[in-house]
Structure 1
């Protein structure tokens, strides 16, 4: 823990010095994408109530509730925590405007109709990734987040719009519902791998996940929930049909964010634990069905990725120094993980007593984060970008003694961050 605190302090000091020297980090409060703005909002009392309730009753209820009731209660509590944190910034600023800005998904949804529908949109999606800054012949280009992700992410928000959930408020609630469900998916996975007691100990920590500050509302929170359920489905699989379904979900995750190719480490951890290698073939078949569907529709993943690397090199990332973010990224991630997760991952902790399955999952999270960090494709903003990996690191908290004390620390960090800083996501 002291090392993590020093890392955060160092990242803040060095970041400010870089900005003062003229380096453009595009961060208002390094190492986070945020600005200093102490405030309270309508979500403040609700967030405190959820935090206190989870700390006081969470561990006991998690230990004795029937499994189905526990999952329902856990999802409800995680959603309430996420929503109340978002509402600290108010409904309009904290929810509605998060997905409707000029850089976000909903901004571009009207273009789908202009292009003639979903099919034509997918066929020309890659043609409009490059900006005029890198391709002067470009007539128009997708907004930052649409063009910076595979077509599957934008397709989801287009479908939400088609079913009447295309407003900032409705889409924001959907994102928080899916994102907060990651807490349940992690628990389901642990139980499916034979560790129900651990799942019950971890769930209160997943509920009070400090990264919920960014789950509400960023699409990366939705990505975290989506990937987590793909892993959970594979863990539950005992035959080819469920494994195939897991492959479909995991395959679509590849089309939500290019970085989720690293999410393959989690299903690999499940297979290494269960040794059900016969499930690999139907799971891969499910993945290939998704790949074939998008390719047939006109979107080739590798073309999109190559174009994104071009616009990334010409974006804010161009002035963000790799040497600084190589370690400052970890300081930013610390805000999403929280003191309990960091302590649980620290040397000499009881995490060595975690069962093999949990160790593999936590190890997969660490490996995904390390690879993403070294890639240089995540310079800053990782407090939200790495949410799909961070939710699995929380599994380590199941080995911590005195859980209530650590739950207080998790909740306190999230409350302090959300009330002192105005985060962009």
Structure 2
């Protein structure tokens, strides 16, 4: 029988234990740190672009632009969506909405925001993309009647990341934490890159795997349901790995979720399912480990030939934090919160994924698309899921969202 909700879980999102004035000061400090990091990242990017051995504009190419001398649908829709999401987030009644309504509205808001910031779809993936990613993009291009159809599919599938992350956050940190962090995820500036290629779909598959792992490790879940969810987590992570090399680091996230909840058996079910998927593909002459080794070998060879590409290795983690927005600063301050297992994989991916992307003329954007996981602890509390959470950082979220709009439509 389900336990009755505690006072902390039913408390409106606006009734928080942190004074409003103190919270605003914290958010402004986070914005200042984020702007400083953004300036440093762009300085390193400019230095790399000016290097003689570095391909012109290689790093600055991560900055999509839809600037046009004429107003577009996005120039009107994006600010309207920003105001609507922040307005709903400040309403006390939203804390009492049914959970399925929160998930549905979070998906709709994320889809609308991603579509409003959509700028381009590149149907020629970089040379370091996986074979499955190249095939998937070619398939979407074939079944779509136009570039608009491709963008619609990519936005629709990539936006599934938001509700799936909320499911995992609710499982580990409670429903109040998930509700308060929802507007931060919906209005993330990383939405600019979700519709650029297959990376958004890969991140959605990762989010589905983590959500299944969180469900499998919950108490009071029937044994076979838990095993099915653990196996699904492994299979989904294997599918994500086929689309993006960086997804492999989220195996650490699954391990940390199972470790936190002492679910050793779930590890074996997830591992067996993941190996089964990759093993089945190897029977059809597609070896993902061999593909990964070959990609890394090519990247290291190119780095030895062009050492100036090391600039990009130094800049990519900073660019990822810049794409996450100021909420990432608040999230890192709460690494000890119950959501910490969800941040292990993306942090590892941010460190090691640039090794693959650092030596090709046009780097992949998988390390940017992983940034939603960097903000999930922005409202979490270290004391546990039953304690009042921190208020949603709406000020810093608004600053990042306005910055994303300016990047796309004014720069």
Equivalent residue, structure 1, for 2:46? 16
* Residue number among 367, 374, 380 corresponding to 2:348 in the alignment: 367
User: For the structure 1 residues 41 and 316, does the alpha-carbon distance in structure 2 shift closer, same or farther, using more than 3 Å as the test?
Assistant: farther
User: For the structure 1 residues 259 and 335, does the alpha-carbon distance in structure 2 shift closer, same or farther, using more than 3 Å as the test?
Assistant: same
Equivalent residue, structure 1, for 2:77? 46
- Where does 1:56-135 land on structure 2 (aligned, <5 Å)? 56-60=87-91, 62-86=94-118, 89=119, 94=120, 98-100=121-123, 103-104=124-125
Deviation at 1:24, TM superposition (A): 2.3
Equivalent residue, structure 2, for 1:124? none
User: For the structure 1 residues 411 and 377, does the alpha-carbon distance in structure 2 shift closer, same or farther, using more than 3 Å as the test?
Assistant: closer
| Deviation sequence 1:190-216 (CA, Å, 0-9, x none) | 222351111111111110011001012
Equivalent residue, structure 2, for 1:188? 167
* Residue number among 342, 367, 388 corresponding to 1:386 in the alignment: 367
User: For the structure 1 residues 3 and 198, does the alpha-carbon distance in structure 2 shift closer, same or farther, using more than 3 Å as the test?
Assistant: closer
Equivalent residue, structure 2, for 1:418? 408
User: For the structure 1 residues 21 and 228, does the alpha-carbon distance in structure 2 shift closer, same or farther, using more than 3 Å as the test?
Assistant: closer
Equivalent residue, structure 1, for 2:22? none
* Residue number among 299, 306, 310 corresponding to 2:286 in the alignment: 299
Hey, what's the Cα distance between the residues in 2 that align with 1:209 and 1:234? 24
Hey, what's the Cα distance between the residues in 1 that align with 2:369 and 2:43? 28
Deviation at 1:56, TM superposition (A): 1.3
How large is the Cα RMSD of the aligned pairs? 3.0
User: For the structure 1 residues 154 and 291, does the alpha-carbon distance in structure 2 shift closer, same or farther, using more than 3 Å as the test?
Assistant: same
Q: Does 1:287 align with 2:274?
A: yes
SS at match of 1:254: helix
Deviation at 1:26, TM superposition (A): 3.4
Deviation at 1:69, TM superposition (A): 1.0
* Residue number among 383, 393, 409 corresponding to 1:403 in the alignment: 393
Q: Does 1:221 align with 2:251?
A: no
User: For the structure 1 residues 245 and 365, does the alpha-carbon distance in structure 2 shift closer, same or farther, using more than 3 Å as the test?
Assistant: same
Unaligned runs of 5+ in 2: 1-29, 381-389
| Deviation sequence 1:94-147 (CA, Å, 0-9, x none) | 3xxx143xx24xxxxxxxxxxxxxxxxxxxxxxxxxxxxxxxxxxxxxxx35xx
Q: Is the 8 A contact 1:317 1:379 kept in 2?
A: no
Q: Does 1:278 align with 2:265?
A: yes
Q: Is the 8 A contact 1:31 1:332 kept in 2?
A: no
Looking at secondary structure, tell me which structure has more helix per residue: 1
Q: Is the 8 A contact 1:176 1:217 kept in 2?
A: no
Moved more, 70-79 or 263-272: 263-272
Number of paired residues?
Answer: 361
Deviation at 1:310, TM superposition (A): 5.0
Hey, what's the Cα distance between the residues in 2 that align with 1:417 and 1:301? 36
Q: Is the 8 A contact 1:62 1:203 kept in 2?
A: no
Hey, what's the Cα distance between the residues in 1 that align with 2:378 and 2:318? 19
Equivalent residue, structure 1, for 2:60? 30
Q: Does 1:55 align with 2:86?
A: yes
User: For the structure 1 residues 231 and 62, does the alpha-carbon distance in structure 2 shift closer, same or farther, using more than 3 Å as the test?
Assistant: farther
Hey, what's the Cα distance between the residues in 2 that align with 1:20 and 1:178? 37
Hey, what's the Cα distance between the residues in 1 that align with 2:247 and 2:290? 16
Q: TM-score, normalised by structure 2?
A: 0.78
SS at match of 1:395: coil
Unaligned runs of 5+ in 1: 105-143
| Deviation sequence 1:288-343 (CA, Å, 0-9, x none) | 22111110111011222233235545779964735422332133213310122234
